[in-house]
Structure 1
Amino acid sequence: MEGKKAQYGLRVMLVAFALLLACNTMAEAITCNDAVSALIPCGSYLIGQGGADPSPRCCESARALNRMASTVASRRQLCECLKQTGPSFGVKPERVQHLPPFCKIDLSMPVSPDVDCSRVA
């Protein structure tokens, strides 16, 4: 029961945060709101409360997010968004690094909390 409450709480927090970001993010091909919303199915995995691997639904969502980031500007914006929001949600960097290879996502940017998003191509 505690796990379900935590997962529900995380989802509510992610949605509320996404709505706040939508009000403050400039319109681009992809917004921080889009990114946070797309990764909701990955929430419990990314904070270490899910299983050892991401769920199929998480992988589908992460692949869709990757497809949405189709321009250099959108990839840089996505990079900044995830770099800033991840720590506030308690996202574990090792979980983020495991996600692309497990879900078979070819990223054009490194997965690291120290990435310089201005250099993302």
Structure 2
Amino acid sequence: MKAWQILGLGPLLLMTGVVWGYGSSSSSKACAKPGFSQFYPADKADVPANSKFSFLASPNTQPDTIRVVVKDLSAAIAVKPVAQGYQVSGTLPAVLHGTFARINISAEGANQCKGSGGWLVNIGE
């Protein structure tokens, strides 16, 4: 009786191996979020009003989707392709002074995956 049970398990094991060989459909829709680095000025730095800022966006970033908001105010930016991705630069809004402000970044990457980042600066008078 045990021999028949063991022989009966063989086809079941083969079938599960075939099913696992196809993988899941979610693996083809992997999300590649854009990354941000090399923030200037540094995090929590003291900066004068109307200062320039810059950062590097990863190569998988769609450059036309990059948005920068500083304390609920949109910042005008310039995007330049470089070997490591995209160099993004801009100027802090002139109306901000004597306050801490977060430079918020948002963008889309491959498969419309959204990424965000940012850093904090102390804007002087």
> Fold conserved (TM > 0.5)?
no
TM-score w.r.t. the length of structure 2 is 0.24
- Looking at secondary structure, tell me which structure has more helix per residue: 1
- Looking at secondary structure, tell me which structure has more strand per residue: 2
Specify which structure has the bigger relative contact order, considering alpha-carbon pairs within 8 angstroms and separated by 6 or more residues. 2
